[in-house]
Amino acid sequence: MLALVTGASKGIGRAIALELAKNGFNVAINYNRSSESAEKLRDEIKTLGVNTEIFQADVSNYEQVTSLMKSVKDSMKESISVLVNNAGITRDTLLMRMKPEDWQAVLNTNLNAAFYCTREVIRDMAKARYGRIINIASVVGLTGNAGQANYAASKAGIIGLTKSVAREYAERGITVNAIAPGFIETDMTEVLKPEVKEGILQSIPVHKIGSPEDVAKAVAFFASEASAYITGQVLAVDGGMTMC
């Protein structure tokens, strides 16, 4: 079975691609700018004995998504059974300073891309009467966060998308679930000041920052047969940070 992971060149997406490969999935690796990291990941996944290739595309661009899906199908000779909408960016600042372009960029990459990719895979999944769509949201999509109006709105949007598509396609054997990571150690969180990191750490009951692998394991569960009776759910992978 073939899984496509968007934004898989780094961080959480990279860990998801590896974990799915370890679980026997063939993996289409999407990246945008980090071609070297994507190539390294492809070489690592190849050693696991599954089929894998890298595909450059900016998933916030609909035309690029349509050609991405065609390239994946043509070169991997298989249709996509598992879609992981992971690609994401931040442009954090307080609302008054947030420029419309900061808003648009984040919504385009974090939300519109998930819609584009889902729209392009759903027909094949419906035909196959099987599919797994896993959307990477965030706990801030549930709680909101000062300085992240654009990001939190995009992640709340992805939760609405998850539940709506889950309802539309439940009868076709397609499950759609979201994962809401808390604070995970990647390039995205590396930019935070040490005192901000410390403050966040204090709000995590397990007193640990999460790893990309913590998220990847939850994705593997939603990608598997074991989660067949679960759809439209949001699973927080956050060390107990939100509990809502």
Q: Which residues bind ligand NAP (CB under 6 A)?
A: 6-7, 9-13, 30-34, 58-60, 86-89, 109-110, 136, 138, 181, 183-184, 186-189
Cα within 13 Å of Cα(103), Cβ side: 9
Q: CA 206: distance to chain centroid?
A: 24
**Residue number, 126 or 192, with CB nearest to ligand NAP:** 192
Least Å distance between CB 185 and ligand NAP? Answer: 7
Tell me, yes or no, if 169 is annotated catalytic.
no
Least Å distance between CB 10 and ligand NAP? Answer: 4
Cα 161 to Cα 151, 170, 234, 238, 240: the distances in Å are: 15, 14, 11, 21, 24
**Residue number, 7 or 131, with CB nearest to ligand NAP:** 7
Least Å distance between CB 129 and ligand NAP? Answer: 28
**Residue number, 89 or 126, with CB nearest to ligand NAP:** 89
The DSSP element (H or E) to which 131 belongs, if any, is strand 131-136
The catalytic position among 31, 116, 151, 169 is 151
**Closest residue by Cα to residue 184 from 64, 68, 10:** 10
Say how many C-beta atoms besides its own lie within 10 A of residue 187's C-beta: 9
Please list the active-site residues: 151
